[in-house]
Chain A
């Protein structure tokens, strides 16, 4: 059972366009992480957001964590073909120490056409 809902599931856009990917849950997470995954590879961490309302920027990528720490968004400005990939959000929960696991959404498959 996926506790994190990502939308849209598929997105195909032209180079230079802007886009936003959403990650929603009914559960509260200690932190939320965004990953990008290329075909045949493991996910690579882009950012971790921890505080409700937090906004982080990574070049043309802007990540936001909802005030209630249940949802997040990823906004890409002026998308480039190199941004093509599967974008995954993952919520972390646990009671501290080493006891935590990541719950992933199904991902958003982004294709940026030249």
Chain B
């Protein structure tokens, strides 16, 4: 167990709706990254938060947004859901630094119908 917890574990939403996914990082970790993993694919980097600021973003549209709170927990928000947004959303927490270990949560399985 990594100490990174995500909620909810499963979620079903309708196309066009909005969703908020939550992540509690491991104690002491100040950096949170979010990844999208479609079926049969490796995780794709969405964005990273460090000290409550977005610190790097992958190739995802603006309807994917996030927040990091003073306790380093984080939220991923997706607006105007599309069918292709169906995926496992993973949160990873780490300390600052390029070669530091990232600890992943168990993920949120989002299904858009």
Residues of A within 8 A of B (CB): 1-2, 4, 6, 30-31, 33, 35, 40-45, 48, 50, 88, 90, 92-94, 96-107
Contact = CB atoms under 8 A, between A and B. Distances in A.
Nearest to A31: B99
Contacts, number: 87
A96 to B, nearest CB: 6
B104 A31 contact: no
Main secondary structure of the interface of A (DSSP, over half): strand
Contacts of B99: 30-31, 48, 50, 92
A96 B67 CA distance: 22
Interface of B: 2, 4, 30-31, 33, 35, 40-45, 48, 50, 55-56, 58-59, 90, 92, 96-99, 101-107, 109
B56 A99 contact: yes
Given A99-B55, A101-B58, A107-B42, A43 B98 contact: no
Given A42-B107, A43-B104, A92-B99, 8 more contacts: A2-B42, A40-B106, A42-B4, A50-B99, A90-B42, A96-B97, A98-B50, A102-B33
23 contacts: A4-B42, A6-B42, A31-B99, A40-B107, A41-B107, A42-B4, A42-B105, A43-B104, A44-B104, A45-B102, A88-B42, A92-B99, A96-B98, A97-B98, A98-B31, A98-B50, A99-B55, A99-B56, A100-B97, A101-B58, A102-B43, A105-B42, A106-B42
